[in-house]
Amino acid sequence: MEHLDIKILIVDDEEIILTLFKSALETWGYQADIAEDGQKALQKCSEGDYQILITDLNMPNMDGMSLLKRVKARWPMIEIIVVTGFGTIETAIDAMKMGASDFILKPVNFEQVQFTLKKCCQKIRADHENQALRESIAQLRELNAMKDKFLAITSHEIRTPLTIIKGYLEILEMSLEDQNQEVQETLDILLRTTRQLSETLNRVHTLQWANRSGWQTRSEPINLNAFLQAVQQDMGRLFQHRQILFSVQLPETPVWIHGNHNGLRIIIQELLHNALKFTPNHGRVGITVKNSNGDVEISVFDSGIGIPFEEKELIFTEFYEVQNPLHHKTSKEDFMGGGMGIGLSLVKEMVTSLGGRIDLESEPGAGSTFKIFLKKAVMSKSVAV
């Protein structure tokens, strides 16, 4: 009884054939109806939702070919199988050219009928699945466009008033002299929270921008050694605050890449912020730079909680987080501090735009290493000092 959902209409002017077909089809688990001629078949097609029509070619009044043409014109999704004798096999081939799915030869061999129907059902199921997939893709595209629009509008609509709030809070803080401790603390909290919100919106905005237009408009030579030493200075304080040992290991000769300072800064900062977030106090975080076969390999490693194997691809997806986001603490520096699942998608987008790639090695409980491979820039001696 595996074909309960498939409804078949059999059309033939011979009653005995109709009876034989109907009982065989029902035995195999199909729903079967009969029609004695083409007109009745058309009538039934307009009333019932048949997936398959089996028709004799040789019938008085309306022959099988005329029926085939009319059915295909009105209900193109119905699969048609024609029944024909050896003498009229060419007509069967013509029928296939006009849209019939298959043909059955007379005298009818019911094993062949069963096989032909099985094939036809497989095709119907595959068509349905394809159709469902196409619809899902269209729906996903629409949702994605809606998400982009929503993010673009909200980030714009929130950013403007937020900038005003932040500006006035800063003025208030400067102009309120001799404020008592409670007022000072309240202002501090307001300012800190406003800055956090503003930073989150900026990251959403950057991701939108990176997705839409490609961020790398201008490429320039970057001295990685100098760049990473500056990062070490800028971010060192955050690691000290959490008693995390932070190291940067660079080759003696400066390494150069072609890129965009802003993009590279976002890549390294996002990876370091994650390392900071997912490494408990007293752990280790570091950056190493190596030359590898004409590429530059930048590794950002940590001794933190690690990432389960099955999450390795998913974490680069926008707004994806391994842990339940509702359990987050809302801070970028705290252990397991909050986020929106934006950082790594930004990193991947930017590394790809630089013509590079990113790999992840990680073991839950033992830490993670994000490896970025970028093309090395060949610098003339006068520049590479």
Q: Which residues bind ligand ADP (CB under 6 A)?
A: 270, 274-275, 278, 302, 304-307, 315, 320-323, 339-345, 368
- Tell the smallest beta-carbon distance from residue 375 to ligand ADP (Å): 24
Smaller CB separation from ligand ADP, 360 or 384:
360
Name the minimum Å distance from CB 102 to ligand ADP.
52
Min separation Cβ 241 and ligand ADP, Å? 18
Minimal distance, residue 302 CB to ligand ADP, in Å: 5
Residue nearest to ligand ADP (CB): 339
Separation of alpha carbons 8 and 117, rounded Å: 10
Nearest to 208 by CA among 286, 160, 150, 133: 150
Instruction: Give least dist CB 243 to ligand ADP, A.
Output: 18
Rg (CA), the chain: 34
How many helices (H) and strands (E) the chain has is answered by 9, 12
**Residue 199, Cβ neighbours under 10 Å: how many?**
11
Please say which residue, 102 or 349, places its beta carbon nearer to ligand ADP. 349
For the chain, give percent helix, strand, coil, nearest 5.
50, 20, 30
By beta-carbon proximity to ligand ADP, the closer residue of 21 and 278 is 278
Rank residues 276 and 377 by Cβ distance to ligand ADP and give the closer one: 276
Q: Which is nearer to ligand ADP, 254 or 337 (CB)?
A: 337
Least Cβ distance, residue 236 to ligand ADP (angstroms): 18
User: Which residues lie below 8 Å from residue 280, measured CB to CB, with a gap of 6+?
Assistant: 304, 305, 335
CA distance 77 to 69: 13
Helix axes 343-353, 261-277, angle to 10 degrees: 150
Report, in Å, the least distance between residue 275 CB and ligand ADP.
5
CB-based contact 55:67 (threshold 8 Å)? yes
The two structure tokens encoding residue 267: 């890549």
Q: Which of 107, 365 has the CB closer to ligand ADP? A: 365
> Do residues 37 and 11 touch, judged by C-beta distance below 8 A?
yes
Distance CA 53, CA 72 (A): 11
Nearer to ligand ADP, 55 or 303 (CB): 303
Please provide the DSSP assignment of 136-202 as one string: HHHHHHHHHHHHHHHHHHHHHHHHHHHHHHHHHHHHHHHH-TT--HHHHHHHHHHHHHHHHHHHHHH
Choose between 120 and 275: whose C-beta lies nearer to ligand ADP: 275
**Sign of the torsion formed by the C-alpha atoms of 277, 281, 283 and 284:** positive
Kindly tell me which of 344 and 374 has the beta carbon lying closer to ligand ADP: 344
- How long a stretch of residues is the chain? 385
Shortest spacing between CB 178 and ligand ADP, in angstroms: 40
**Could you tell me the smallest distance in angstroms from the CB atom of residue 325 to ligand ADP?**
8
The span from the CA of 204 to the CA of 352, in Å, is 18
Dihedrals phi, psi of 227, to nearest 5 degrees? -60, -45
Q: Is the Cβ–Cβ distance between 9 and 56 less than 8 Å? A: no
Q: How far is the CB of 198 from ligand ADP (least distance, A)?
A: 15
| Residue closer to ligand ADP (CB basis): 315 or 354 | 315
